[in-house]
Amino acid sequence: MAGGEFPLYLCLFFACFICCYEAMPAKVFQQALNDRPVIGVLTQIVSDDVMKPFGKTYIPDSYVNYIESGGSRVMPIRLTLSNEEYESIFKKINGLFLIGGSANLNTSDFARVAQIFYKLALTANDAGDFFPIWGTCMGMQLLTVLVAGENLLSNTTAENVALPLNLTTEAHSSRMFQGFPKELIKALAEEPLTGNFHHFGLTVKAFQENEELSSFFSVLSTNIALNGEYFVSTIEGKRYPFYGVQWHPEVNRFQWDRRLNIPHSTHAVQLSSQLAEFFINEGRRSLHHFDSPEEEDSSMIYKFTPVYTSNFTAYEQIYFF
Ligand SMILES: *[C@@H]1O[C@H](CO)[C@@H](O)[C@H](O)[C@H]1NC(C)=O
Ligand SMILES: *[C@@H]1O[C@H](CO)[C@@H](O)[C@H](O)[C@H]1NC(C)=O
Ligand SMILES: *[C@@H]1O[C@H](CO)[C@@H](O)[C@H](O)[C@H]1NC(C)=O
Ligand SMILES: *[C@@H]1O[C@H](CO)[C@@H](O)[C@H](O)[C@H]1NC(C)=O
């Protein structure tokens, strides 16, 4: 009867209201996100004699674990492909991760391939096609060479030492650290949470004196090298989603060599997790994708088996290609 219809009408009304209410903000305010991101990692040329029997190029598993821990998959990218092949890969991956190691930042294939992706990323971001790049240690050094158009690195040795970061005022309004709990920011500035393993870097002076670099990046932290030089230790693109750390966030959770000063404290682990998730969240904003699920699956690092290297390198396991 009529008495029964009224509540039904009300229910429908509320159902519709709730439905519309939930759907609208999602459509209007939230950008599309990609929850199956793939991060490309350039392989490194093997130069260490003890590693040569296993392959010509490699990626340490610590970087792979680090990227995977943020909720992403890894696509290894060889250094021997054609420009067309790199352009094609660029349209499939959701970010590029430049790892540490030792390569000539001017003449190596690593530098050549990184430059191809860097230029594609500049153009894409300019056109509203979001594409993030992260550089760790040598990866950050290479980013500064690409942006400056010249190599401004000098001796800023901080080898096998864990340091707190001297955070700048920009750090407190940065994207990189914005999701950090207050306690972790405090710990980052006071406790030695960042593992340093480098001989070269960018002095604060060289950074400030170079117009390209200082207009492109904000400096989020600095540190003091063995020779007393102040070096830039964390950078973030002002306009572009490009990030660099001179230190090694991945080691805090994924490397255990007892000869190395690797921070493994609760805060050190938290720092590493937060940064991995931050970068992968940037990757989620890229809608690049593979042409087919089959192509996607066969491009992942999962089909390779890492080699146990803990007894003769500083890495627990390494992927060789
Ligand atoms: C980079 O390499 C080229 C070719 O080898 C050379 O002409 C140039 O001077 C080098 N630049 C730097 C900054 O090392
Ligand atoms: C920290 O950086 C400031 C400039 O931002 C500098 O004046 C100060 O000396 C630095 N301190 C350390 C310990 O690096
Ligand atoms: C850098 O400076 C340190 C400290 O002065 C020195 O021990 C080291 O040999 C230098 N390294 C290079 C590569 O010049
Ligand atoms: C490292 O350990 C593996 C596995 O136990 C062994 O086969 C290999 O010979 C060792 N390598 C060195 C250099 O000790």
**How confident is the model over 37-62, as pLDDT tens digits?**
999 999 999 999 999 999 999 999 99
Residue 91 lies in a domain: yes
* Model pLDDT, residue 27: 46
Q: In which element (H, E) is residue 232 found?
A: strand 230-237
**How confident is the model over 163-202, as pLDDT tens digits?**
999 999 999 999 999 999 999 999 999 999 999 999 999 9
pLDDT > 90 fraction of the chain, expressed in percent and rounded = 89
Residue 128 lies in a domain: yes
* Model pLDDT, residue 29: 53
Lateral strand order in the sheet of 73-77:
73-77, 38-42, 96-98, 133-136, 242-245, 230-237, 217-224, 166-167
Residue 285 lies in a domain: yes
Pairing verdict, β 57-60 and 317-320: antiparallel
Considering its fold, how many domains does the chain have in total?
Answer: 1
* Model pLDDT, residue 19: 42
**How confident is the model over 144-168, as pLDDT tens digits?**
999 999 999 999 999 999 999 999 9
Residue 1 lies in a domain: no
Q: Is 198 a catalytic residue?
A: no
> Is the CB of residue 277 less than 8 Å from the CB of residue 249?
no
Residue 311: CB within 6 Å of ligand 4?
yes
Residue 143 lies in a domain: yes
Residue 53: CB within 6 Å of ligand 4?
no
Residue 317: CB within 6 Å of ligand 2?
no
Label residue 12 by pLDDT band (50, 70, 90). Answer: very low
Residue 153 lies in a domain: yes
Q: Is 137 a catalytic residue?
A: yes
> Is the CB of residue 114 less than 8 Å from the CB of residue 59?
no
Nearest atom within ligand 2 for CA of residue 223: 14
Residue 170: CB within 6 Å of ligand 2?
no
Ligand minimally distant from the alpha carbon of residue 108: 1
Enclosing domain of residue 43: 38-320
CATH number at residue 177: 3.40.50.880
Find the angle CA(111)-CA(132)-CA(200) to the nearest 5 degrees. Answer: 40
Residue 28 lies in a domain: no
In angstroms, rounded to a whole number, what is the distance separating the alpha carbons of residues 67 and 73?
7
Taking the centre of ligand 1 as the mean of its atom positions, its distance from the CA of residue 140, in whole angstroms, is 19
Tell which one of 54, 312, 313, 317 to mutate to probe ligand 4, the residue whose CB is within 8 A of the most ligand atoms: 312
Label residue 23 by pLDDT band (50, 70, 90). Answer: very low
Task: Provide DSSP, 124-140.
Answer: HHHTT----EEEETHHH
Q: Which of 198, 248, 267, 288 is catalytic?
A: 248
Q: Which of 137, 198, 267, 288 is catalytic?
A: 137
Pairing verdict, β 230-237 and 217-224: antiparallel
In angstroms, rounded to a whole number, what is the distance separating the alpha carbons of residues 83 and 248?
30
Residue 199: CB within 6 Å of ligand 3?
yes
Taking the centre of ligand 2 as the mean of its atom positions, its distance from the CA of residue 272, in whole angstroms, is 24
Residue 82 lies in a domain: yes
Taking the centre of ligand 1 as the mean of its atom positions, its distance from the CA of residue 107, in whole angstroms, is 7
In angstroms, rounded to a whole number, what is the distance separating the alpha carbons of residues 66 and 254?
7
